[in-house]
Chain A
Amino acid sequence: MHLIPNLLFALLLIVGVGIFVKNIKKIIRNIKLGKAIDRSDNADKRWKNMLLVAFGQSKMVSRPLSGILHIIVYAGFIIINIEVIEILIDGLFGTHRIFKFAGPLYTFLIGSFEILAFMVFVSVIIFWMRRMVIRVPRFWNKEMTSWPKNDALNILYFEMVLMSLFIIMNATDTAFQQLNAGNPISQFVTPLFSNFSVDSLHFIERAAWWIHVIGIFIFLNYLYYSKHLHILLAFPNTFYANLNPKGQLDNLESVTNEVKLMMDPNANPYAAPLEDAVPSKFGASDVTDLTWVQLMNAYTCTECGRCTSVCPANITGKELSPRAIMMKTRDRLEEVGKIIDQKGSFENEGKQLLNDYITPEELWACTSCNACVEACPVNINPLSIIMDMRRFLVMEQSAAPQELNVMMTNIENNGAPWQYSQMDRLNWKDE
């Protein structure tokens, strides 16, 4: 009889972590659908970036209020999780506050957790108000309806509940309160329960403990469906982020080979292509044409909208929103993942990222200004996806806007985007 809670807890742990691992594997599988790109260079710089940007949240504070609040929630999340170690041991072995033997250190820790929990609670309320009362515009763009909006709110509610449960659990732990140490917050909550019997106090304490534990497991498994995945992926994402100057676009290697052949006067035009006889596809029309880094970007996106709020195209009312580019990429990738789940491999069902998710109108509105890349707190690069999709439109479909075709024809014919003769290039000198 005595063992039932322990077994129940063990079962919960196995199921909770089991499903989580299964989902993580799915994410890794989906990310690996992306094309290869080498990001193994410069490990020092990458570690530094990860420490600074993901762990140190350096880019968050460019907007001080939300940045500092986020750091509180984030620090709270990490530090209060130390308490989860105790919860795990207590749960598995039926102990109660196993670390209590540490005496003052223990009460000091629990006390700090309480203060943090309270700060997290307040921050989360402010976050909620920014979304729902102040209505900060970037939370109300048109891609932020239905699930994305509810997702953001769910996370806030989750945090509020988890933090409250932690405090209630401490407040109703009579023995703990009698120590009168380590309870800087919960001591003010205890009086609320002053006319409860010892038994019901104990019951509430246990209930809070269990709901807290179950809540953690639900939250863990909620990540997969949520923008909250960033708490894990922000780390690899910042590690593998682009280290080159932001203005530098990659040069397509497949194109380099062909151009070299075309320009080589000694090349035999009738020679059979040497390597891959299968003509490679230029640019991206679906998620499988993107690199694994771009796909990881999509899963990492926090949907914060900092990118969209600085995007010149979006600011001036164009269809384009860099956040939506990332969200649509993730949605499409999830869809491809589901097809693989069902059929064992990816068979195209007639849909693709281009047109069915992202329209040419969005793609052509981009000025390649890199404001989105600069603003992203987790080093996501929406511009790289836009550029790869433009490449597909132009090189595979010749579907550039007419004026751009004119511009390109000019470059081809006379080496300038306008119709001037190359022979007139130095005329300015004598004008």
Chain B
Amino acid sequence: MNVPTMAEMMAQGKQPEVLFWVGCAGSYDDRAKKITKAFVKILNNAKVEFAVLGTEESCSGDPAKRSGNEFLFQMQAMTNIEILNAYEIKKIVTACPHCYNTLKNEYPELGGKYEVIHHTELLQSLINDGRLKIEGGSFKGQRITFHDPCYLGRANDVYEAPRELLEKMEVELVEMNRCKSNGLCCGAGGAQMFKEAEKGTNEIFIERTDEALSTKSSIIATGCPFCNTMITDGVKNANKENEVQVLDIAEMIVSANKL
């Protein structure tokens, strides 16, 4: 797989069009790594000159900040900013809405000012610029529902980019009752991913997955590695893993176009 690092680019005296911020989930989590690779396939296919930080990347600090550990967050942020600024990075794309939100909104005040976009936004502009083509392909006419990641939707008002991509794949998009700005959280945000939930009557990921399943879709699409984990668990919980797939939009594009 062609994945140049910033260090290699620098050695060749090149500056990439965009830096791909992989994120911790995208780097280490088995499920999320598939999303990372799918996205890289698309980037290579569309001939996007990109690079990653590789071993120089470190956690954006989002889970620390949302746990209340501002110290750890700012240490992470400043370490990352130092590296990003040293490479004179201008534009960053990421497939993780949590990294996206942190880099975009919380880094500038600490000295890290970049244009930050979510991978669905980049894919959308690649299509608009004619660099990437999606033909309906294998998802044409399939019933598919989209789960809005909180940190993409409500947190940053990105609702249309992923939906436009789905539209391009000519799927039959079925919205859940709670969608877009009323979307229900998958339960992973605010560092909940890393701890047991408090005592309650139900699990948030089950509540949300059940709603997604009630749309009778064959695919639950999303744009966040954490949402993906939670909803995959929810689908297993409902014993539907043979009928319903949980996919990232990037993965869908790859398999629709057989990249």
Contact = CB atoms under 8 A, between A and B. Distances in A.
Nearest to B34: A428
Contacts of B88: none
B181 interface: yes
Interface string B66-100: 11111110111011000000000000000000000
Counting chain B CB atoms within 10 Å of each CB, which of A245, A255, A425 scores highest?
A425
B105 interface: yes
Nearest to B66: A368
Given A247-B151, A249-B65, A255-B74, A431 B188 contact: no
B72 A412 contact: yes
A268 interface: no
A367 B70 contact: no
Counting chain A CB atoms within 10 Å of each CB, which of B1, B105, B207 scores highest?
B105
Interface in A380-406: 387, 389-395, 400-401, 403-404, 406
Contact of B105 (A248, A374, A403): A248
A307 to B, nearest CB: 12
A316 B28 contact: no
Interface residues of A, number: 70
A273 B67 CA distance: 27
B114 to A, nearest CB: 15
Given A312-B185, A426-B5, A401 B195 contact: yes
Contacts of A420: 27-28
A408 interface: yes
Contacts of A394: 67-69
Interface in B168-212: 178, 181-185, 187-204, 207-208
B27 A247 contact: no
B203 A415 contact: no
B68 A365 contact: no
Interface stretch (A41-49, A152-160, A258-266, A339-347): A258-266
B70 A369 contact: no
Contacts of A60: none
A312 B190 contact: no
Contacts of B202: 315-317
A423 B56 CA distance: 8
A282 B74 CA distance: 14
Interface stretch (B9-17, B132-140, B153-161): B153-161
A249 B26 CA distance: 23
Given A263-B75, A411-B64, A318 B200 contact: yes
Interface in A314-348: 315-320
A95 B24 CA distance: 77
A252 interface: yes
Interface in B103-127: 104-106, 109-110
A316 B204 contact: yes
B101 interface: yes
Classify the interface of chain A: helix, strand, loop or mixed.
helix
B33 interface: yes
A416 interface: yes
A140 interface: no
A245 B157 contact: yes
Contacts of A199: none
A431 B155 CA distance: 33
A176 interface: no
Interface residues of B, number: 73
A417 B190 contact: no
B36 interface: yes
A249 B28 contact: no
A248 B204 contact: no
Contacts of B76: 411, 415
Given A374-B181, A393-B68, A316 B207 contact: yes
B106 A249 contact: yes
Contacts of B61: 411
Contacts of A401: 195-196
Given A249-B66, A374-B181, A426 B157 contact: no
A417 B194 contact: yes
A249 B107 CA distance: 11
Interface of B: 1, 3, 5, 22, 24, 26-29, 33, 36-37, 40, 52, 54-55, 57-59, 61, 63-72, 74-76, 78-79, 101, 104-106, 109-110, 150-151, 154-157, 178, 181-185, 187-204, 207-208
> Nearest 9 pairs between A and B by C-beta?
A247-B155, A317-B201, A368-B190, A390-B68, A415-B58, A248-B105, A369-B185, A317-B200, A394-B68
Given A282-B70, A312-B185, 4 more contacts: A247-B150, A369-B150, A416-B27, A425-B57
23 contacts: A62-B182, A246-B154, A251-B70, A251-B74, A259-B71, A262-B75, A282-B70, A283-B68, A315-B184, A316-B197, A316-B201, A316-B207, A317-B201, A365-B197, A365-B198, A367-B185, A391-B69, A394-B69, A401-B196, A407-B191, A411-B61, A415-B57, A417-B63
